[in-house]
Amino acid sequence: MRFYYSAVAPRGQKVTGSLEAISKEDALRMLLDEGLDIEEIRQYTTIDFLKENFKNLSRKFTNVKLEELIVFTRQFATLFSSGIPVLKILERLSSQNFSDKLLTALRQIKNDVEAGLSLSAAFSRHKNIFSPLYINMIKVGEEGGVLDITLQRLASILESDLETRNRIKTATRYPKLVVSAIVIAFTILVTFVIPKFANMFARFKTELPLPTKILIWINKFVQGYWYIIIFIILFSIFAFKKYKKTEEGKKKIDEYIFKVPIIGPLVHKIYISRIARILALLYKSGINISKSFDIVSEISGNETLKRELLMIKEQVARGSNISSAFKRSKYFPPVVSDMIESGEETGNLDDMLFKVADYYDEEIDYSIKTLSQAIEPILLIFIAGMVILLALGVFLPMWDMIKAFR
């Protein structure tokens, strides 16, 4: 039999769910063994089934926020460095005030670790929440016996990613507002104002100016074929996502992204900074250079750079210096190979890799600060085009109307 329950966890968090049991008493005993304070327990109904499935569906399409993941990682590292066993940490964190999706994953991870899986293997079963970077860093911490240090460094990387995202959002906020305002104004004029001009001119049998004709055509097209437009947009998004999941599609898109004006160079710098920092962390943790390149290629986030890093790894395996291998790559600027060469000569490769990351962090910061300035010319051309079209479309017929009255 299946039973629905509502209970309070040891740390005061309310939990609901269902479980299989022989009887109600057996179900009650199982829940009490987990340390839950039972509020309600009853036989499972069709309504409970629908609610649970809806909850699972909404959980599937809800993403765990990066801020939440950072807090979880910091707490995990702090508790682990205090000497608390992993299972106890997972149990404690699974009763914290995290999102339902993350809490469900943590409970499953705890059960998997109890069943004998390694921590990284348990985390790898939830790739929709934890990135390859996250899973591989945990694996490195497990193998090197420095899980607390690795988690702290991982949290720092995630915080850096979050800060970069927030700065890009801030830099692009003004252009987004301007474009949104223009689009709204265009929609209102085309939908409500221009059709009235068309009716007035029809009465006077006066020919409309070309800009007004264009706006009327847009209005009629949208009103007559709005469902086709929505279908094309949705189909394009679906086809793009499907293509991106293919090996060839990901390869082409990841290669093309570096060629996109303004955004491409910024994305390239972000990738180089991340690669250098993670490579430094792995090298400092005592992971051999070949294994480090394997890991960093998997978590690079870009198929083009992944192939490039594996090629560098092969050259190093054949006896080449790391700096020489980086020099042969067209995706890593000379400053990277020069700084790595200096690190190899002085025996401070990890420190120089950190300096490479810091150097590119400064470049990223400058690029983000000047991002709005770089977008301004494109924005001005777009606004000017829209304003001219709207102004001509509205004022030319008004001028012709005045002449007709005279």
Give me Rg for the CA atoms of the chain: 29
198 vs 216: CA distance, rounded Å: 8
DSSP secondary structure letter of residue 145: T
Give the domain ranges of the chain: 2-61, 66-160
Q: Which two tokens stand for residue 149?
A: 């240090």
- Confidence at residue 31, expressed as pLDDT on a 0 to 100 scale: 75
- CA angle 76–80–82, rounded 5-degree value: 125
pTM higher than 0.85 for the full model? Answer: no
The b-or-e profile of 40-63 (16+ CB within 10 A means b, else e) is: ebeebeeebeeeeeeeeeeeeeee
Angle 354-167-337 from CA coordinates, rounded to 5°:
25
Is 66-160 a domain of CATH 1.10.3720.10? no
Buried b (16+ CB within 10 A) or exposed e, 105-137: bbbebbebbeeeeebbbbbbebeebbeebbbbb
CA distances from 152 to 71, 119, 294, 360 (A): 11, 16, 22, 21
Each residue's pLDDT, cut to its tens digit, for the chain (406 residues) gives: 787 777 777 666 677 777 777 887 777 777 777 777 777 777 777 776 666 665 655 556 567 888 889 999 999 988 888 888 888 888 888 877 788 888 888 888 988 998 888 898 999 899 888 888 888 888 888 877 778 888 888 888 888 888 888 888 888 888 888 888 888 887 887 777 777 767 776 666 667 777 777 877 887 888 788 888 889 999 999 998 888 888 888 888 888 888 888 888 988 998 899 889 888 888 887 778 888 888 888 877 788 888 899 999 999 888 888 899 999 888 899 999 999 999 888 888 888 998 999 999 889 888 888 877 777 788 888 888 877 877 777 777 666 666 655 5
Cβ(155)–Cβ(70) below 8 Å: yes
Rounded CA separation 215/217 (Å) = 5
Count of other CB atoms within 10 angstroms of residue 266: 20
In this structure, which long-range contacts are made by residues 207-210, counting pairs with CB atoms below 8 Å and at least 24 apart in sequence?
A: 208/397, 209/392, 209/393, 209/396, 209/397, 209/400
pLDDT at residue 302 in the model: 85
Joined tokens for residue 366? 């400058």
pLDDT value, residue 57: 55
DSSP at 65: P
Predicted pLDDT of residue 134 = 87
Q: CA–CA separation, 247 vs 83, rounded Å?
A: 43
In sequence order, the 6+-apart residues with CB closer than 8 A to the CB of 121 are 112
Amino acid at 63: N
Q: In sequence order, which residues have a C-beta less than 8 Å from that of residue 69 and are 6 or more positions away?
A: 102, 129, 130, 134, 158
Residue 236 is predicted with a pLDDT of: 92
Q: Which residues contact 372 (CB under 8 A, 6 or more apart)?
A: 171, 172, 174, 175
The closest alpha carbon to 273, from 332, 361, 352, belongs to: 361
